Amino acid sequence: MRAAFYDRTGPASEVLQVDEIAKPEPRAGEVLVRVAISGLNPTDVKTRSGITPRPINGFQIPHQDGSGTIEAVGDGVDVKRVGERVWMWMAAVDRFGTAAQWCVQPAEQATHLDDTGSDALGACLGIPAMTAHRCLFADGPLDGAAVLVAGGAGAVGHYAIELAKRAGARVATTVSNDEKAGLAKAAGADLVVDYRRRDALDELKDFSPVMDRIVEVNLPANVDLDLALAGPSTTVVTYAATGTDPTLPIRRCMTANVSLRFVLLYGVPRPALLAAASDIGIAVSERALSELPIHRYTLDEIVAAHEAVEAATVGKVVVVP
C-alpha cells in the first residue's frame, strides 16, 4: 500500500517519505480500515518534528485522525462491522497512523460514522472534538451554564462551541479577526468577541459576569481575563501549552474560588474517552457538528500539508490517500 512515514524526527521536508509498504493485517481486537481521509492536527506535526517526541517502533505512519471503511476484522471483532463507515481517534499511538491507504486500529477506536457525517467531518473529529468534549464535560453537565471558549475558530474551539450549544449552554467565544468571527458565529456562538479590543472583558461580563466553564487555549495570555470572569462555579480548563508558563496568581485564584483543570487527551481515562467518542458519534447523527473549511492535499503532498499546519492555516488540513 502507499503510505507516508518517517523513521526519525525533524523538519517535514527532511523526514517525511511516501512509498509502498506492506499492508497491515488486523490482529485480535483490531479492524483494518481503508482510509478515505486523513486529518492533521498540531500534535501530528509536533510529534514528527520532535517538539513532543513519541517512541518510534521502526517507522511511524503519522496522523491520529481519519475516516474510512472497515475492510476486515481481527479475532474477537464482530464480522458485521465489515463495510461500516468509521472515524478514527488516536490512530498513530501505534505505528499505523492514518496517512496511508489502509490502517489497523483497535476496534473501539474506529467509531461508527453515521451517514449524516461526511468523510471530511469524520476525519476532523478525533483530536479536536474529543478534546473539546473532555474540556466541557469532565466537571459535569452544562445545561443552562455560561461557557467561554477561547479561540472559537480553532479546531478544538469550534467543536467546543458546537458541543456546548448542543448541551444547552450559552456560549461566548473570543477570536482575533473578522474571518474567525464568521466561523465562530456559524458554529453557533451566542457572543463573539475580538479579544484584542480593550472592551473585550466588558462585553463578556455583560454576557455573564461569571463563566461556569472556560475552555482555554492560551492560559498565559488570558489568565487575567479568565480570573476576571471566575467564581466558585468556574472551572478553567487548559488544553494547550502555548507561550511561556505564567506565574499563577494564587491569591486571585483563591479569592475567586476557581477550579483549574488541565487536559492532555492521550492521558484521559479510557472510560471517558469511550464515552466521549460515543457521544460525539450521536452528535454527528443529530447533525450537531460541522466542518471547518477543509484544505485537501494528496499523500504525495504531505510535506506541504504539514507545513500548512505549522503555518497556522485557518480551518482543517487533510490528506486524501
Q: Which residue's CB is nearer to ligand NAP, number 70 or number 214? A: 214
Q: Which residue's CB is nearer to ligand NAP, number 43 or number 69? A: 43
Identify the CA nearest to 5 among candidates 90, 89, 123, 99: 99
Residue 303: other Cβ atoms inside 10 A: 18
What would the grid cell of residue 56 be?
518510534
Q: Which of residues 167-206 bind ligand NAP (CB under 6 A)?
A: 174, 176, 180, 195
E-only strand ranges, 122-205: 146-150, 170-175, 191-194
Q: Which of residues 134-163 bind ligand NAP (CB under 6 A)?
A: 150-151, 153-157
Single-letter residue type at 321: P
The span from the CA of 221 to the CA of 208, in Å, is 21
Sort strands 259-262 and 235-238 into parallel, antiparallel or unpaired: parallel
The span from the CA of 195 to the CA of 177, in Å, is 9
Nearest approach in angstroms of CB 131 to ligand NAP is 4
Q: Which of 222, 236, 284, 321 forms a contact with ligand NAP (CB under 6 A)?
A: 222
Q: Which of 147, 239, 276, 297 forms a contact with ligand NAP (CB under 6 A)?
A: 239
For the chain, the maximum distance between any two Cα atoms, rounded to a whole number of angstroms, is 60
CB 321 within 8 A of CB 2: yes
What would the grid cell of residue 293 be?
473549511
Nearest approach in angstroms of CB 105 to ligand NAP is 19
Q: Which residue's CB is nearer to ligand NAP, number 112 or number 316? A: 316
Please report whether residue 127 would count as binding ligand NAP according to CB under 6 A.
yes
Sort strands 146-150 and 170-175 into parallel, antiparallel or unpaired: parallel
Q: Which of residues 83-122 bind ligand NAP (CB under 6 A)?
A: none
CB 283 within 8 A of CB 163: yes
Q: Which of 43, 49, 69, 234 forms a contact with ligand NAP (CB under 6 A)?
A: 43
Site string for ligand NAP, 273-312 (x = CB under 6 A): ---------------------------------------x
Residue 180: other Cβ atoms inside 10 A: 20
Please report whether residue 264 would count as binding ligand NAP according to CB under 6 A.
yes
Q: Which residue's CB is nearer to ligand NAP, number 241 or number 248? A: 241
Please report whether residue 131 would count as binding ligand NAP according to CB under 6 A.
yes
Q: How many residues does the chain have?
A: 321
Q: Which residue's CB is nearer to ligand NAP, number 3 or number 127? A: 127
Q: Which of 167, 187, 192, 265 forms a contact with ligand NAP (CB under 6 A)?
A: 265
Instruction: Identify the three-state secondary structure at position 281.
Output: helix
> Contact positions toward ligand NAP, by CB under 6 A?
41-43, 127-128, 131, 150-151, 153-157, 174, 176, 180, 195, 217-218, 221-222, 239-240, 242, 263-265, 312
